[in-house]
Amino acid sequence: MLQITIPETELYDDKVGEFIYTKETKLKLEHSLISISKWEQHWRKPYINTVEKTREETIDYIKCMTLTQNVDPNAYRCITNAHIKQVNEYINNPMTATTFSDKKKSGRREITTNEVIYYQMIELGIPVEFEKWHLNRLLTLIKVCTSYREPQKKRNKKDIMRDYKAINKANRAKFKSKG
């Protein structure tokens, strides 16, 4: 979870022609599947594969990430580029020490939406409560579960023969035999 503090600010509303004062606001944010689901419902495009987001889309995602109750909507108008940078660093944090080597990268690019992730969770038997996890951690769990489901790679004959040779050599030494 990330917490950002939006300082007390004075804004001017052009439509009404008056000043608006916002109190200091502490936002508790969570980058999760729930947040992405809300954002995709509003924007009707995939969050994960949309590299460049407008400021409006970014602020809206911060709203979707917000766990704090009863936030003054004007507080979101006071979000600075420094806040956005802090949020992006949090979003890009892997939140795990697990890594993968992508040996079999295919040329095709798959579009990942919240429905695809929910499907993967259901398919792998991952409880729906995990939708509240940081998204990168959830995606890592999905990768781990998928890797355990893949069939074991067949070993090549050269490696098998080398292993058998080492076992035979150890057995000959252990039992003091020649064959």
Residue 108: pLDDT over 80:
no
Per DSSP, the residues of 71-87 read --GGGGGG--HHHHHHH
Burial class (CB in 10 A: 0-12, 13-18, 19+), 81: exposed
E strand or H helix that includes residue 136: helix 135-149
At 119-132, the pLDDT tens digits run: 999 999 999 999 99
Closest among 115, 147, 143 to 36, alpha carbons compared: 115
At 26-76, the pLDDT tens digits run: 999 999 999 999 999 999 999 998 888 999 999 999 999 999 999 999 999
